[in-house]
Amino acid sequence: MLFRISCLFLVLGFRGPVHGGPLTNPHPNITDQQLFWGSDQYDFSVVLPAAGLECFWHFAHHGERFYLSFMVQWVTGIGHDRHLSVTVNSPSSLLVSTVDDAKGQVNFEAKETGFYQMCFSNFHNRFGTMQVFLSFGVYYDGYKDPAKRKDEEKKKKEEVSKDLNNTLSVIEDATHKVENYVFHMFRYYNFGRMRGSADHFLLRSNSQYITWWSIALSLLIVTCGYLQLLFLKRLFITKTSGEEEKPRC
């Protein structure tokens, strides 16, 4: 046993310290603005417990558009309050927007570059959970840095002034416009999908509610009929008087 321990120390001594561990900076030569640049969107559902709070963060650049759409799909527990409290905070912890409703949309122009915080609170339901469908992201009118965009705009103006029949620039502008329209079309499609899923869960809950109440009322009607029949039957029971039932002196 001592020989094994001494061998283990010798091996560790020869190997020396190990330069491992998690990589904290996978892109050392790339800034945060370059790393997070681009249009993106996220669609998912989250379940909030009773009086629960969930927060998410999303990166946005100065001057670009930030949007958030949400809708409550189902609620359980006592009360069934479908109201949801939503707050959006800027990177400097300033309140940007707040909504207190079962569904809503938030759309604003980012005044700061950084991570925007979205918090969803279920404080209206102290004894029930709820499921919320979320759709949020950022979209860009331009596809490059603002400085490069300004330089390209100047160059385009010069090119247009020199040659009005520049087909490539016209095709490029039309392509980016179509991409922007398609992006907004998918945004409205996701909001319509939210409504469809909320209606689906509402139909399921109503169906279960009607089914259980129908079963309970059917059992109540059958029980009442049986008790009435038993009571009427006992009214017509006659006892035959015999010698055993005669009074004795």
Rounded average pLDDT over 46-53:
90
* C-alpha span between 57 and 90 (Å, rounded): 10
pLDDT band at 127; cut points 50, 70, 90: confident
Domain count, the chain: 1
Per-residue pLDDT reduced to its tens digit, 74-116? 888 776 788 899 999 999 999 999 999 988 989 999 999 899 9
**What is the pTM for the complete model shown?**
0.56
Rounded mean pLDDT of the chain? 75
In a domain, 227, yes or no: no
Q: Is the residue at 57 inside a domain?
A: yes
> Is there a domain that residue 97 lies in?
yes
What is the tens place of the pLDDT at every residue in 135-152?
A: 898 887 654 555 566 666
Q: Is the dihedral of CA 19, 30, 117, 54 positive or negative?
A: negative
Which domain range does residue 144 map to?
33-156
- State CA 123 to chain mean position distance: 17
Enumerate the H helices of 23-104 as residue ranges.
Answer: 32-35
Domain holding 101: CATH number?
Answer: 2.60.120.680
- Report the sign of the C-alpha dihedral through residues 124, 127, 132, 138, in that order: positive
Residue 51 falls inside a structural domain: yes
- 98 contact partners, CB below 8 Å, separation of at least 6: 85, 86, 87, 88
Residue 171 placed within a domain = no
Residue 87 region by backbone torsions, left for phi larger than 0, else alpha for psi between -120 and 50, else beta? beta
| Residue 179 included in any domain | no
